[in-house]
Structure 1
C-alpha cells in the first residue's frame, strides 16, 4: 500500500507549462504530483496572459521571478540556476506539445506531457531519439491507469484467471458537446479545430485513454487490423469527429470494440471496460471505481472491492485509501506521477536495471496512442474500411 513515505532522496524540482487558472487539467496534474512529496513546484509558465499567470503562480507558492511569460522564458530563466527545474509538465493544447517537449529536452529537462502526445508517429520517434540521446525521461498522463483495480485486472489476466482473452469491450462517453459550439469556450474550440487538435477530436481527447488502459491490462496481445467509423453530429466540427466506434482484431484472435463520444446527451462522463476470457470476465467502470465485477462461468457473480486482502499483490501495492474509502482519479494521477518520478530518479542515477522492470506511461505508451489514432483516421477516411495496423 502506498502511504506517502519518501521514495526519492529529494523531491524533483518541478515546473509547468500551461495548467493555469482557466485550464481544465492543471489542477489534476498538481493533485497527482504534489501528493507524495516527490515533486516541488518551483517554476512555471502558467498562462498565455503573463500577468495572470504570474498572479496564479504566486498564489500556488511559486516565487514571482520564476513565474515566466513563456516556456522559452522558463527554459532561459532556469538554465543557469543551481536549483533549476528537473522536470516540466506540458499541460497545453495538442498542437504545442511537440515544440515545447522538444525545447525542454534540448535544454536537459525531463518532460511529462498531456495526451495525445503529438500529431504523428514520426514526431514521437524524433522525441524518443532526442530523449534517449540526452538521457531523459518523457512521461505521459493517462488518468485512470494508475487505479489499483486496473492493476488487479492486469494481474488476473497475467495469472490466467480469465483464460484466453476473447473479447474486449470499452466505452468512454459524455454529453457535454451534444449542443453546437455557438457559445463554446476556448477549451472546446481548440479541441474541434484540426489546426490545434490534430486529426481527431474525441478519439484523441478521450479514446486514447481507453486504448492505453487496455494495453496495461492486456500487454501480451496486439491489434492486427481495425475499422473506425467516425462522425461529426455537429457539422461545424467536421472533418473531426464527436462520435466514433472502433472495431479491432487482435493477434490472438480476440475481437474488440471501442466507443468514444462527446454527444451522449445526458451522460455526465463514464468509462467502462470489460475483458472477457474463455473462463471468466472482469468489468470495471469509473462510475463505481471501488468495485470490480468478476464473473466466472458457472459460478455466482462476485464484486471485488479495492484494498481487500483477497486481491492480487499488484493491486494492493498501488492502493492508497484502503478498503473503507473510495479510490478516485486523484489517487490514480498520484500513482502515475509517482511512477514517472521514480523513472526520472533512476535515470538520474543511471539505474538501468530498475528502469528495465519499472512500469510507467512513457514515450512508448504515448507513441502507441498516436499510432492507434493514425490507423483510426486512415480507416475512417477510407470510408470505415478495415486496415492493417501499421
Structure 2
C-alpha cells in the first residue's frame, strides 16, 4: 500500500491524546505526518511541528491556515485528525469535510445534537469519510466479541454491563487544576462531563459489540465534589434496539480504579467479559459450562480479531495499537477509493459520524433524564425517530 499524507490539528506538546494518535497512525507505515497545526499558540505549534519532521511550509499556525494551505496543494493530506478541545470539533470538522478532506475527529464529535446532525449531513454531501475516535473498538478481543455475538454464539443478548470508572479527579483540592477544571466547564465540554468524556466510550463499545443501539435511557448524575457544575459520576440504564438492557456506570471519583473500561455481555447461550487493562484475555462462559479464557493471537480466533492482532500471543498490547487498527481501517478505505476497488469488508467497521451523532443524542437525553429525576427519555437522534 502506498503511503498516504496525514495531517493533525491539536495534539501538540504535552497533549494527553496526541502521542497515541501519532503512534497509531505511523505504526503500519500507511501514513506520513505531512502537515499540522498542533497548538493554540501558533509559535509553539510551528516549533513542535519541526520536532516531528513536518516541513516548514506545512507547519501551520492554526487550523484555518492549514485548511487554506492544504486545499491549494496537489499533494494535500488524505486524512485530517482533529484532536482539539471539544468546543472546536464541530467548526473544524465541518470546514475540512466541506473542502473535500477525510476527517478523524476525537470524541465527542460535537457539543450539541444539532451540530452532530449537521456533520452527518455534511459528510454525506461531501462524500468524504468522517470517522470518530472510539479507539477502544480497535482492540482485537473487542472485535472478537463482536464476531461471536454476530455469529450467534451467545444467542439473543439479554443484558449488557459496561463501566468506565477511574479515580483521578477525586481530590477536591485539584478542582482548580487547569488540566482537570476544563473537563467540568460547560463552555468547554458541553452539558455533560463524565458521561460525555468516558461514558460514551462504554456506550459505543456496548453498541459495537452487541449490534444494538440505545433507544431509551434513565440517568442519575451526581457531582460528588460540590464545586463542580457538571457530574463526576453517572449511572445510566438503557433499553436497546434489539431488546437488551444496558447498565452503564461511569465515574471520575472512584478512588482505586485506574482506567476502568470493562464490558460484559450476557446472552441466552453464554456470557463474555473483557477489561481494557487486561486486553489480551476474553472470558467466555457457556450456559452450564466452565469459564474459558480466549487469548489474543490464538489461531482459532475470528478473522476480525486476527486482522487486528499485531504481536505474537502472550505479549502485551496497548491503546496505541488499538488506535492503529482504526487508522489501518481508514487507510484501507481511502486507498480502495484511490485505486477504484472495494475495500476489505473487515476495514469498514470503524466508528463513523453516525456513531458520533448517536453519542450526542445519548448525552442530551441523559442530561434531560438526570434533570428530571431519572425519567425515561428517548435516546435516539431526532433524525432516527418515527
Aligned counterpart, 2:348: 358
The one of 174, 179, 203 equivalent to 2:195 is: 203
Separation (CA, whole Å) in 1 of partners of 2:210 and 2:64: 40
Aligned counterpart, 2:322: 332
- Cα offset, 1:144, TM superposition: 1.4
CA contact (8 A) 2:214 2:238 kept: yes
Aligned counterpart, 2:220: 229
- Cα offset, 1:152, TM superposition: 1.1
Separation (CA, whole Å) in 2 of partners of 1:309 and 1:355: 20
Alignment partner of 1:104: what SS?
Answer: helix
Alignment partner of 2:227: what SS?
Answer: helix
Alignment partner of 2:224: what SS?
Answer: coil
CA contact (8 A) 1:112 1:140 kept: yes
Is 1:70 aligned to residue 62 of structure 2? yes
* CA-based RMSD: 1.9
TM-score, normalized by length of structure 1?
0.92
CA contact (8 A) 1:17 1:89 kept: yes
Is 1:89 aligned to residue 62 of structure 2? no
Is 1:177 aligned to residue 181 of structure 2? no
Is 1:289 aligned to residue 279 of structure 2? yes
Is 1:133 aligned to residue 125 of structure 2? yes
- Cα offset, 1:276, TM superposition: 0.5
Is 1:51 aligned to residue 51 of structure 2? no
Alignment partner of 2:263: what SS?
Answer: strand
Segment drifting more, 297-306 vs 169-178: 297-306
Alignment partner of 2:308: what SS?
Answer: coil
4+ residue runs over 6 A deviation = 352-357
Stretches of structure 1 lacking an aligned partner (at least 5 in a row): 1-7
1:93-151 Cα deviation digits (max 9, x unpaired): 10000011111122222111000101222212212222222221111111211111001
- Cα offset, 1:229, TM superposition: 0.3
Stretches of structure 2 lacking an aligned partner (at least 5 in a row): 381-386
Is 1:186 aligned to residue 156 of structure 2? no
Separation (CA, whole Å) in 1 of partners of 2:55 and 2:214: 48
Aligned counterpart, 2:107: 115
Alignment partner of 1:281: what SS?
Answer: strand
Alignment partner of 2:172: what SS?
Answer: coil
CA contact (8 A) 1:66 1:74 kept: yes
CA contact (8 A) 2:175 2:181 kept: no
Aligned counterpart, 1:276: 266
Aligned counterpart, 1:317: 307
- Cα offset, 1:182, TM superposition: 4.5
Segment drifting more, 59-68 vs 91-100: 59-68
Alignment partner of 1:82: what SS?
Answer: coil
Aligned counterpart, 1:244: 234
Aligned counterpart, 1:104: 96
TM-score, normalized by length of structure 2?
0.93
